[in-house]
Structure 1
Amino acid sequence: MQELYNRVQAATDPLEIINLSDKFLDMHLIGYIKLMFLKGEVLLSLGRLDDALSVFKQILEYDVDSFAGRAHNSIGFCYSRKNEYDKSISEFEKAREYSDEQSLLLNSSIINLAAFYSMTNQKQNTFKIFKELYDLDSSNGPDDTHILILRLANNPEELIGIYDNSIDERYTPDVNVLFAKGDALVTLERFDEAIPVFEKILKYRNDSDREIAGKTHTAIGICYFRKNELDKALPEFEKAREFSDDSLILSNLANTYTLTNQKAKALEVYKELYNMEPHNKDLKKIIELLELELNGKDRLKDSPFNTIQEAFIQADIYSQSKEYETAIEVYDLITDSMPEQPPAWNKKGYAYYQLGRTEEAIKCFDKALECNPNSAYSMFYKSLVYMGLEDYENAQDMIVQALNIIPDNSEFLNNYCVILIRLGRNEDAIDIANKALIIEPDSVETYTNKAFALENLNRFEEAIECYDKALKINPNFFEAWHNKAYSFENLNMLDEAIECYEKALELSPNNSQILSNIAMLYVKKGDFDKASETLNRQ
């Protein structure tokens, strides 16, 4: 720089002076801009983003092409730190306009551009940038750039093509890239091609990477499973389990044990899964069915049933047909075979309850609660029995316990509502009915229960509104028509009451009580002929 300065000072030819001066000024400016860049980068490192932006924008004012791309890149990076992604992408794109050479494509501006395309979900633009990098330099083996391309490719066919072009046998393959190719082949259902790819992962993986081993054996097992080669799938899932207790591995293993008729082993794995997912109702059901089948097999030799499931189905059919005595006989077989299963005790108890054999019903529900102290339905059924015995205090205790376990069950809430009405706690009953209606807004039973509580409080207009809502849902709901007539009668709206009773009579023809009620209303109106005519309809 000093030498050039001296030459400028010594020159006498004007053209030479201009030429040398331009060189000196350019060099001086470049040095100055480099210092500005240093200042901007220091400000950026201190998090003073607005100050750094100001410096980098000032650099652009000098209109030096060799620095413009870098300046736009730095401005874009500042905006990205400020989470102003639209502005950052615009600056990264401007940076790229100054050159398409590999040197610029490989600099941070283009990597940043691709990254922010990805962050803003512009996948096609992201892939295009990385593909361009790959096309410019595909000779360096499976480096990070190629891995990014593979992971960003949306088309499995294209992914496989890029993989095959970028992986050279001279290099140890990247197992993540291999997995990407294997997954793509599975997506295309090219299982025979996918299996060797996954097997190569097992060859090249780091011995300490147990997770990738578990994933890979699972992937191979899934390929064989999808090919319906269960004898080959099962060993792979078993190997996978040696490396990991991941729920996907356990699920595949349990399913394959089931399909290969190794149900005892399947049950063991399903129980392990259930310990990991204790709220999974589907798993619980699978376990119950397997236990029923495995534990009940030897106890059915002298029965007409091949499995406990068959016995359960037939008992339920008897119960639904109101053949409760016969249903109990089959439930006895089930509870003898599987004494630790609450559902059988509950169903048997309910059959006893329908027969009015309350003492035996309560014993069944108590047995179910011994097996599972948190069986909310056992508590619910037991509360029904106590209601039948008009023991509303015990009924309340049972239903409250059930609701503590399942608080959002509208059936439980309706039961509680009725109990509260029987206990004379009508305001509380209305609150419970309102909770039930939030859960099941189209329940005619809940509207009717709420209306009954309102009637007990002499709030007949509100009761009628509830009956109207119930009848809008189900115009043929007998109790709503019958009880609505009662509310109208208490409001001395006798014609409306008669109309409601007539509607109820259509649903229950020859109902002598309703005919008597209608006749009494005509008497109140002083219309004795109509009253007599109504009584003669019986």
Structure 2
Amino acid sequence: MSRVLLLMVAALLLAGCKKPLVAASDDEKRLEQINARFHGGDLAGAEEDLLKYTVEYPKSGGAWGLMGWVHLKKDDYENAGKYFDKALEVDPNWENAHVGKGAMYRELGDTERARKSYLQAIRMKPDAAEAYSSLLVIELMEGNYEKAVEHGEKGWSYRKDLGTIAANLSVAYHYTGDMKKRREFYDEAKKLGYANLTVLEEVFRGERTIGPGTRATAPEEP
């Protein structure tokens, strides 16, 4: 699966992570600025800032987790895994690190470990919308379209402000043949400013496919 398509069907993702990145001891404004830099595509700048930040705030699960996403975006799986583990070491309740590890495993083609990571995130935080949307992607890849819809609707029930979840649901409903729902969630994704509507349209026209045997090659975003 192409990088742009996985950005469309993910999780979640990481969907920009709307979860607060900071704890009480963190510099909230500064970490949010780094997060914005990451989402703006400046991976080198975000990494440089995070290296300094984690020296000052070594107990920041959000900072270590974001560093994991930076390295995942760079296809540096070894370091991505190390940083996600570090995030969980300093903050065992940082469920987004499990979502990140799930994205990493999915890219590596290990959908079973990816699923386990997403489910662990949900066990830690039952309303982890990004994790449900990420499970949707796994089910799409394996051809379990009704199950994909189920996960997507669960995530949507918790977060109706994430365009990626709406986009994922639009694709899931496309494969179940429910064109009314496909359009409904396409419109929701558009309303929420989802950036890859043209990719959705290519899926609908059959120019791109998602299904059994498809391998993820790009991460969902935090």
**What's the CA shift for 1:484?**
2.8
Distance change >3 Å, CA 439–CA 356, structure 1 → 2: same
Picking from 73, 91, 110, the partner of 1:354 is 73
Distance change >3 Å, CA 406–CA 355, structure 1 → 2: same
Where does residue 135 of structure 2 map in the other structure? 416
Identify, as 1 or 2, the structure richer in helix: 1
TM-score by length of 1: 0.31
Q: How does 1:34-53 map onto structure 2 within 5 Å?
A: none
Provide the C-alpha distance between the structure 2 equivalents of 1:320 and 1:448, rounded to a whole number of angstroms: 18
Indicate if the aligned counterparts of 2:174 and 2:204 stay in contact, CA closer than 8 A: no
**What's the CA shift for 1:340?**
2.2
Provide the C-alpha distance between the structure 2 equivalents of 1:330 and 1:319, rounded to a whole number of angstroms: 10
Provide the C-alpha distance between the structure 1 equivalents of 2:101 and 2:174, rounded to a whole number of angstroms: 28
Where does residue 149 of structure 2 map in the other structure? 430
**What's the CA shift for 1:345?**
0.4
Does residue 485 of the first structure (1) align with residue 205 of the second (2)?
yes
Where does residue 368 of structure 1 map in the other structure? 87
The unaligned stretches of length 5 or more in structure 2 are 1-19, 208-222
Provide the C-alpha distance between the structure 1 equivalents of 2:163 and 2:33, rounded to a whole number of angstroms: 31
Provide the C-alpha distance between the structure 1 equivalents of 2:103 and 2:203, rounded to a whole number of angstroms: 23
Where does residue 99 of structure 2 map in the other structure? 380
Provide the C-alpha distance between the structure 2 equivalents of 1:330 and 1:448, rounded to a whole number of angstroms: 31
**Counterpart residue identity of residue 466, structure 1:** K
Provide the C-alpha distance between the structure 1 equivalents of 2:86 and 2:96, rounded to a whole number of angstroms: 13
Distance change >3 Å, CA 427–CA 311, structure 1 → 2: closer
Does residue 468 of the first structure (1) align with residue 183 of the second (2)?
yes
Distance change >3 Å, CA 330–CA 423, structure 1 → 2: same
Question: What is the percent sequence identity of the aligned residues?
Answer: 21
Provide the C-alpha distance between the structure 1 equivalents of 2:64 and 2:164, rounded to a whole number of angstroms: 27
**What's the CA shift for 1:401?**
0.6
Provide the C-alpha distance between the structure 2 equivalents of 1:418 and 1:310, rounded to a whole number of angstroms: 32
Picking from 32, 42, 54, the partner of 1:335 is 54
Name the larger-Rg structure.
Answer: 1
Provide the C-alpha distance between the structure 1 equivalents of 2:75 and 2:185, rounded to a whole number of angstroms: 30
> Deviations for 1:92-130, whole angstroms, at most 9, x for unmatched residues?
xxxxxxxxxxxxxxxxxxxxxxxxxxxxxxxxxxxxxxx
Indicate if the aligned counterparts of 1:399 and 1:415 stay in contact, CA closer than 8 A: yes
Indicate if the aligned counterparts of 2:127 and 2:158 stay in contact, CA closer than 8 A: yes
**What's the CA shift for 1:316?**
3.5
Where does residue 403 of structure 1 map in the other structure? 122
**What's the CA shift for 1:373?**
1.8
**What's the CA shift for 1:444?**
5.3
Does residue 288 of the first structure (1) align with residue 3 of the second (2)?
no
Q: Which has the higher contact order (CA 8 A, sep 6+)?
A: 2
Where does residue 8 of structure 1 map in the other structure? none
> Deviations for 1:439-494, whole angstroms, at most 9, x for unmatched residues?
345765445434544555xx43x1x222211243327832443333339xxxxxxx
Distance change >3 Å, CA 404–CA 467, structure 1 → 2: same
Where does residue 110 of structure 2 map in the other structure? 391
Distance change >3 Å, CA 355–CA 449, structure 1 → 2: same
Q: Cα RMSD between the aligned structures? A: 3.1
**What's the CA shift for 1:434?**
2.4
Distance change >3 Å, CA 467–CA 345, structure 1 → 2: same
**Counterpart residue identity of residue 83, structure 2:** C
Aligned length: 183
Q: How does 1:94-493 map onto structure 2 within 5 Å?
A: 285=23, 287-289=24-26, 312=31, 315-440=34-159, 445-454=164-173, 456=175, 459-460=176-177, 462=178, 464-473=179-188, 474=190, 477-486=197-206
Provide the C-alpha distance between the structure 2 equivalents of 1:486 and 1:376, rounded to a whole number of angstroms: 35
**What's the CA shift for 1:438?**
2.8
Distance change >3 Å, CA 405–CA 332, structure 1 → 2: same
